[in-house]
Amino acid sequence: VQLQASGGGLVQAGDSLRLSCAASGRSVSSGAKAWFRQAPGKEREFVAAFSGSGGVTYYSDYVKGRFTFSRDNAKNTMYLQMNSLKPEDTAVYYCAAHRNRVAAGSVRYFREYDYWGQGTLVTVSS
């Protein structure tokens, strides 16, 4: 499975961006999917995740209410709509996927995921 993330860019505080992550190869439509981010000098951080078919979407407290995770199984693509962006949202954003569902208590841990995109840089200026 290959994941291709896109949609990053340079925006101003308060602006919006939508990230996309297209999967190719084996379908991961029923498995867990997630977005993580990593700012310079910091560890990779959980942003949002869907636990898998019939599951629930989870958000980091830092982005809850501003970011929305969605997916289009027909296109094998996941999205992250980011509104009201802040300078502290500046990071490389990575999409990730798992072949199966991930337990609710584990969706926030990047080591749970089998497949990773290459990352897309989001820079928010003040």
- pLDDT bucket at 55, cuts 50 / 70 / 90: confident
- Looking at residue 114, the DSSP 8-state letter turns out to be S
Whether 14 shows a pLDDT value over 80: the answer reads yes
83 or 30: which carries more pLDDT confidence?
A: 83
- pLDDT bucket at 4, cuts 50 / 70 / 90: very high
- pLDDT bucket at 90, cuts 50 / 70 / 90: very high
User: Each residue of 39-70: b (16+ CB within 10 Å) or e?
Assistant: eeeeebbbbbbbbbeebeebbbeebeeebbbe
Alpha-carbon distance of 109 to 37, in angstroms, equals: 12
